[in-house]
Amino acid sequence: MLKQFLKKAILLIGLCGISLFASAQVVKERATLTPNWVRLYKPFRIVGNLYYVGTYDLACYLIVTPQGNILINTGLAASTPVIKANIEELGFKLTDIKILLTTHAHYDHVGAMAEIKKLTGAKMMINEADASVLADGGTSDYAYGGEFPSFAPVKPDVLLKNGDKVKLGGTEITIVNSYGHSKGANSFLLNVKDDTKIWKVFIANMPTIIANEPFTAVPGYPNISTDYAQTLASLKAQTFDIWLASHADQMKMHTKRKPDDAYNPSAFVDRAGFDAAIANFDAAYQRKIKQ
């Protein structure tokens, strides 16, 4: 018991550290203001071969297949040991990851991507509109870009676009453009099978409005308003059994389940919650375009 506690404590200390690539002031401030990003959380099986391996709020998803595994999102720059420990706790290996994906190229979701790519040799696949931001460590990001990288740069191996299929070991993931929060934000649709049924899962990139100024005053992203509008329309039109998100709080994960709950995919069947969340984002969008 003591050994397990010490192991978790060491991981937490590592996760709280600021990496050399997280030197931008915005990264330091935001990491300080969001303690749940570094709070440990017990990994669990969501449905079928889909698992949660992230922290308390930064959602990272492991998809296990006979031909290797897929990891979606990596959390902050120092998250590698936490993700590794979570994957091993579930009985899998970090080195079995063959494909890396992300909902969008921000430091809280791709911070450890470079290190995990190096450790696993996995192919990094990203929406083509976020490829340059990933490759320069976030310096060209329209909202968070600056003089210093906010995460270790990663050169993509495969560029994705709307409707593309990512296939591995019998799992097929469809790319759904969800631009706005970043220029290349995307969501993922996939079918997951367990002993009871085939579940249609939607991992949604929720369209949080992050431009502080009016959309017309964002020179680095002239089509931002149009992209948000298209994303909101696309999200409203999606059909699914289960929906997930980039952040646990966006999908109210901690209301739907507790760390020691038994396997229960039905806890994430929540169309009403999804529709309410999108309605809130839509309202925020409407207020923004009136500025």
Tell me what the mean pLDDT of segment 240-252 comes to: 98
Q: Outline where 90-177 has alpha helix (H).
A: 107-110, 113-120, 131-135
pLDDT tens per residue across span 31-63? 455 899 999 999 999 999 999 999 999 999 999
Domain count, the chain: 1
Q: What is the CATH number of the domain that holds 96?
A: 3.60.15.10
Residue 147: how many other CB atoms lie within 10 Å: 8
Who wins on pLDDT, 190 or 23?
190
Question: What pLDDT shows up at residue 7?
Answer: 55
> For residue 16, is pLDDT > 70?
no
pLDDT at 74 over 50: yes
The whole-chain average pLDDT of the chain stands at: 91
Predicted model pTM:
0.91
Closest CA to 122 of 146, 98, 88, 141: 98
Beta strands in 53-110 (DSSP E): 61-65, 68-72, 97-101
Kindly tell me if the per-residue pLDDT of 8 is higher than 90. no
Task: Quick: pLDDT tens for 108-162.
Answer: 999 999 999 999 999 999 999 999 999 999 999 999 998 889 999 999 999 999 9
Residue 1 pLDDT exceeds 80: no
Which two tokens mark 226?
């149009």
Q: Which domain holds residue 244?
A: 2-289
